[in-house]
Amino acid sequence: MTSPLAGAPSLTPRPPHRRRRLYVDSTIQRSLLVAMVVLEVTLVAAAIWFAYGHLIEVINANMYRMKVVQTGPTMMLFAKEGLWVLGVFAVANLVALMVAAGIWSRHENLVVQDLDLLTGKTKELDFSSDANILPKHEVLALTLTWREQERIRFSAIRDRVAKLEAALSSGEPPGDIQGMVDNLNRLLPQT
């Protein structure tokens, strides 16, 4: 007999090492988020102020009349003012999103451009200095750290291969040569 909870998700909490949120770049995301919240608050305040002013005019124009002359349905005037405010609100949000996308794309392109440069150098096995690249992003910092580790590893491989060639040409005993090969193999990636 199977348990009724066999297919149910586990009720145990997530391990503490798992991330709850993934921020690609928290500094730019935070500033864009703050700018968007400030813009939204400003737009809402302006929309309320504008709508209040126009709706008070509509109410005053229709409330205090001795003789009612039909100038049009009052609800249509309210709807017209509301749609105008919502239209301005939507256009301002669309412009803000386009500006934010442009800022994000520019920042992303700067990071990817440097990452492409490092990847191209790595592809060519060029582990020369990367002093002209500043780690503007965590990905670049990790890539620079990895490249430095690889540069050290490749230098050690080159030195050990040179020692192995010298040992082979000088006729060293097979046990010493096997030890050199084992040391060299430790530096190679294990597949």
Q: How does pLDDT run across 113-159, given as a tens digit for each residue?
A: 888 888 888 888 888 877 777 777 788 888 888 888 888 888 888 89
Instruction: Give dist(CA 184, CA 191) in Å, integer.
Output: 15
With a cut of 60, say whether residue 9 has pLDDT above it.
no
Q: What pLDDT score does 175 carry?
A: 85
Scored b (16 or more CB within 10 A) or e, 134-146 reads eeebebbeebbee
CB 28 within 8 A of CB 136: no
Q: At what angle do helices 138-170 and 174-187 cross, to 10 degrees?
A: 170
Q: How does pLDDT run across 152-178, given as a tens digit for each residue?
A: 888 888 898 898 888 888 888 888 888
Q: What pLDDT score does 180 carry?
A: 86
